[in-house]
Amino acid sequence: MTDPADLRPVTTEEWPAFSRAMLEVFGDEPVGDFTETPPPVAELDRSLGLWADDGRVAATAGIYSRQLTVPGAVVPCAGVTWVTVSPTHRRRGVLTAVMRRQLTELHERGGEPLAGLWASEGGIYGRFGYAVATQRGNLRGRTREMSFRPDVDLGTGAVAPVDADAYRAGAARVHEALRRWVPGNMERDERWWGRLLRDPAEHRHGASARRFLLHREADGEVSGYAAFRVRSRWTDDEQPDGTVVVDEVRARSTPAYAALWRYLLDLDLVRSVEAGHAPAEDPLRHLLADPRALHARPLDGLWLRLVDVGRALAARRYPAPIDMVLEVRDRFCPWNDGRWWLRGHPAGAFCAPTDGDPDLVVDVEALAAAYLGGVSLGTLQAAGRVTEVSPGAVTQAATAFSWPVSPYCPDQF
C-alpha cells in the first residue's frame, strides 16, 4: 500500500506524469504545453507528489509564493494549488497528509503566516482550518435595462480597444496601484500576467477570444482596464441576443470605471452581461438607475488559513483599537491552539501567547473568515462560531476586524 509519508517534490522529468494525473482528477483534457513542461509560475520545490506501487501518480499538490493584501498591509501567502487524490487512493488519509505536511513545513520554516486556495468543492477544506475569506459576485443582467443614473460622470477620458501587449503594459500599472488597497488582491509579476493572458481555445467555452480595453485620461495616462469576451447568439426570429462575458474591470477613478462599464454594456448585438468574478459588492450596482437590473448570486472566492495565528494577527492593521485575549481552537495545527493576546490599532499590532483569561473564544476557521474583514465576528457569533466571555467583546472585536474596503480576489490559482 502506498504510504502518505512518501510524499515528495516532483522533478522536471516527472512533470508530464504529475500534470496528467492532476488533470485527470479535475476532468480536464491533457492538452497544451502545460502537460509537458512546468509553467513559469510553477515552484517544483514546493510541490508534493505521491507515487503508487505501479508507478502512477496517486496524489498531487503545490504551493505558489504569493503576496496577499490584508487590511493595512501586504503579507506573504502560500498559494495552495494542484491538490488532487486519485480515486484509487481515497479514504486512506492522503489528503490529510498533504494538508498536514504543507502547514507543518510552513510553520517550522517560519514561512508564510497565511495560506490560501480556491476550492473545487466547498465541503473539503474547512476541516483543515480554511474558510471563505472573499466572495465572487457572479453578476448577471440584461444590458438594455442597465442605464446609468443621470448624475454618473463619465469624465473626459476615453475607452479604446487595444491588443494584448498594450493591455498588459497599461493594466499592470493600474493593478499595481490598486492592489495594495484591496484585501484579497495579490501581486502580478511578469509570470502571473503571462499566465492570466493565456487564451487557449479550449478555455473559451463557446465565446470569442479575450478582448481588451484601456481607459486613458485626456493627458494619455492609463487609468483603467477591462478584459472580456463576447458569446454570440441569435433568437429564433433572428434577433441578436449575445452576452458580454466580463473577466475584470479595474480603474483608478469613478469616471474611468463608469466609462469602461458603459462601453461593455453598449456593445452591439449584446443583450446580457455576465461577470462571474466581479466583487460581491461591485460598485456597478450603485451606478445604475435601476439597481434591480443587476442580479447577484455570490459564490465563494479565496479560502484562507491562518498558518500561524500570532504572526497573522500581528501582520494586519485594525481601524479601531483592540486589546483582548482570544482563545483560539485549532484541532489541526496544535501550535495555534491556545490563548493569544492581541493589541492592535491603525498603525500596527502585537500578538503573542498568554495565559490570561479569554475575552472571546473562536475557532480558527471563523478567525480566517473574519481576517480580511469580509465577515463580521458578530455574524459568526450568531452562527455559534464565536463565544463572548467578556461583555461587549464581540462588538469591540467585530469593529476592529472590519475594513472599509470589501475583500476581493480576482486571481484564481
DSSP E strand boundaries for 334-391: 338-345, 348-353, 360-363, 386-388
Distance from C-alpha of 85 to C-alpha of 380, rounded to nearest angstrom: 32
The binding site consists of 83-85, 91-96, 120-121
The sign of the torsion formed by the CA atoms of 361, 366, 372, 376 equals negative
Q: Check if 263 is active-site.
A: no
- Residue whose entry in the numeric block shows the C-alpha cell 474591470: 249
* H-type alpha helices, 226-294: 254-265
Strand order in the sheet with 114-117: 48-51, 57-70, 73-85, 114-117, 303-306, 131-132
The binding site for acetyl-CoA consists of 83-85, 91-96, 120-121
Q: Which amino acid is at 392?
A: G
Q: Check if 125 is active-site.
A: yes
The active-site residue out of 18, 125, 128, 401 is 125
Distance from C-alpha of 413 to C-alpha of 60, rounded to nearest angstrom: 15
**Local structure of residue 123 (DSSP, 8 states):** T
Q: What are residue 167's phi and psi, to 5 degrees?
A: -60, -45
End-to-end CA distance of the chain: 31
Partners of 270 in the β-ladder: 242
The active-site residue out of 128, 228, 401, 413 is 413
- Residue whose entry in the numeric block shows the C-alpha cell 504545453: 33
Q: Which amino acid is at 367?
A: L
Partners of 234 in the β-ladder: 240
Q: Kindly calculate the radius of gyration of the chain based on its CA atoms and give it in whole angstroms.
A: 23
Provide the annotated active-site residues. Answer: 125, 413
